[in-house]
Amino acid sequence: MFNTSLQMSLNCPSHLSVSVTRQRNVCKRRLNPVLAVPPSSVILHTDESGEFPESRNSSSSSNASLSSCAGSLLCHPNTVGIMGGGSVDSTLSFVRKLVHWSKENEETCTPFVLCSDPVLNRELLSLERNSSTLCSRNARSQFDHSPIVENLLSKRVFLEKSGAQCIVVPCHISHSWHDEVFNGCSIPSLHMAECVSRELKEAKLKPLEAGSPLRIGVLATDVTLKAGFYQEKLQNEGFEVVLPDKATMEHTVIPAIDAINRKDMEGARNLLRIALQVLLVREVNTVILASNDMCDLLPRDDPLLKKCIDPMDALVMSTIKWAQQAVKEVQPIC
């Protein structure tokens, strides 16, 4: 499933972008079933506080009208809340796969609401791409993550109120604070590392050598590896986790990220190939590419890529499975 999913040609879906204004008549038209059919997907852009840009200056009655309008649009029992991360492109890639793959088995795509915040994008992207400057323990301990956590928490609350029945985060680094952000959440959330670990378990892989443990390699930025959530979820499923050693990180992985930042894609591609080969000679069954930048480096027909897994694919498939099950178990509330 992993190889074929990586090679799929995905078509850009058409989405409905809802621009929330103060005009009551817009909401009334959307609420009228004769004039408009409620869309299956809504993309709502918020500011850094997690609120609609115009909502601060709106009257309470207008806010109530907007809330009612949004709620009516997202009343499906299988509505997925998507929390954007460090890369808008990777978030949209997740949405394309969600729409494309869900429509393979259903007449319509899985309904979703997407929350995108450019402030959060910049904070996460800066943290991940500059992880090489945070390699020392002292540097990491001095870095204040609380603004990022608070921003993620506000997005979680926003998605809950928007009618989402499950929340997914197609961003690796955001999972560093997954437990903290989703503690006390009223709806379930899918953990990307948990999804890929479970899917690997279900694949019933065989060790490369008889009697050896199943080894799974993980290639990611330093900050993602230091967070440890991929290692934890894989070990919980009984896998032996193989990470790049210090020399590989210092001479291939970190320079590859630096090359990406300089737009030197050919240099980054060559460094990534070396890092993958170093992991593969350590008898790993497959390598999890836990970096959106790295996943996009190699061409789709590259032999090395066939040895790798994009965790985003596992998250998409788990999201679709959840949505299908939700339809069976829960009756629509509208």
Q: Which of 114, 239, 124 is nearest to 175 (CA)?
A: 124
**102 alpha carbon, distance to own chain's centre:** 17
What is the rounded CA–CA span in Å between residue 21 and residue 182?
A: 30
- pTM of the predicted model over 0.95: no
Q: Is 332 exposed, middle or buried (0-12, 13-18, 19+ CB in 10 A)?
A: exposed
Q: How confident is the model at residue 319 (pLDDT cuts 50, 70, 90)?
A: very high
Residue scoring higher pLDDT (309 or 292): 309
Q: Is 160 exposed, middle or buried (0-12, 13-18, 19+ CB in 10 A)?
A: middle
Q: Are strands 166-168 and 189-190 parallel, antiparallel or unpaired?
A: parallel
Per-residue confidence (pLDDT) for residue 74, from 0 to 100: 63
What is the rounded CA–CA span in Å between residue 264 and residue 268?
A: 6
pLDDT at 290 over 90: yes
Domains of the chain and CATH, by start: 80-133+143-330 (3.40.50.1860)
Q: Where are the alpha helices (DSSP H) in 106-145?
A: 118-129, 137-142
CB 99 within 8 A of CB 109: yes
What is the rounded CA–CA span in Å between residue 274 and residue 131?
A: 20
Per-residue confidence (pLDDT) for residue 75, from 0 to 100: 78
**161 alpha carbon, distance to own chain's centre:** 20
Residue scoring higher pLDDT (4 or 284): 284
Highest mean pLDDT among 87-91, 245-249, 290-294: 245-249
CB 51 within 8 A of CB 70: no
Q: Is 274 exposed, middle or buried (0-12, 13-18, 19+ CB in 10 A)?
A: middle
Task: Quote the percentage of the chain above a pLDDT of 70.
Answer: 71
**Residues 332, 152, 61, 111, Cα dihedral to 10°:** -30
Mean per-residue pLDDT over the chain, rounded? 78
Q: What is the pLDDT of residues 24-80, one digit of tens each?
A: 333 333 333 333 333 345 555 544 444 544 433 433 433 433 344 444 456 789 999
**176 alpha carbon, distance to own chain's centre:** 12
- Which residues is 44 bridged to in the sheet? 115
Q: Are strands 286-289 and 215-219 parallel, antiparallel or unpaired?
A: parallel
Extended strands (E) in 226-331: 240-242, 286-289, 308-309
